[in-house]
Structure 1
């Protein structure tokens, strides 16, 4: 059996270590909390806290506070430190509550009325992102579920249902939720908000995005641990050979 030289062994370990750093997350992670009473509760606070904790400092949040009241789509969105985006479709930036929908922080929020299974509105990001989170108010009180359709940077789309089921039992009017998704393996460039029923009025606030580089907690694939173990094994073999030489 041939034995690697010390430089070659170090190179093998370096490759293994770099694989740990660059390894993508094994699967997408969803963060979710809901309050049927329409107020912040422990579940919502924990979901948003965990979502933000998985990101580095400097991720961008659009609070809608800098956008004038009654501004209709298209709306230019700004996520400081993370990029920009364009919101198109139905809806408008508002300050007055409407049919249970209203702001979560500050005075401004985005209000929309769904038109059925077609896209209610969409957000196109200037650069691929891997993290997206938001507050939603008054969703599902019209027996409608919210489907997010992500356009992947690598091509194709993926549908993710916000994890409540109002198809049989409507949620209470004015409910509040937080939804966040992180997927470093499949960054996306666009997200569509699609409802399964028409006529549902709901609001969104404090949208946060992050790029792949801004995701702090990346879980290595199992194969990456195997690669690292192989690199460590090579170094150990070289060390034993030197001691017996």
Structure 2
């Protein structure tokens, strides 16, 4: 099968001379659940921004869903992003809107401008039912009408994940999805995402710092160290982070 993501000899150097990635290559098949490990500054977030087209590589080639990202027009890239969801570390919620409206934003790429305008004023009974079900899956069933600004950081992270689930993308890029939550909530969120992967075939990539969670929830690990890919394989063969801990 053709990979859903193909990264070939990709390097990224920022304008200040910082090399975030150096000749990274890997491919991912549809439906894989992949954990990306590495210390801060290893290039994990840069890699995610390259995969959703927010950045272009300095050299090398990236293909996502069969399309070379550097050959797409702005319009084509926007269309592609409706099939890819990025869960950000900073949540990207609209603080003055309700949780329900923030979750519904996951549908923006697939609805008409009129539906977008209408949704800001009212949501149909069916839409509210769908949103309620998704919120229940992340432990926030009672927060439908609460403003996003009134939530804790961990709750806002769960709303961001609920928004992604409602969008039903083909690929989810989860950038530190459990960074702001307690251990029980972390298991809840990762179980929810794993169920999405297993039940709907959604391809999942997680940026994680926590090795134990990656070993539990991922089928495959990619490890970055100083911008280079130093491990690509199954969790059971992972030698541990010790020799890369000086990064």
Give the structure-1-normalised TM-score: 0.33
Give the structure with the larger strand fraction. 1
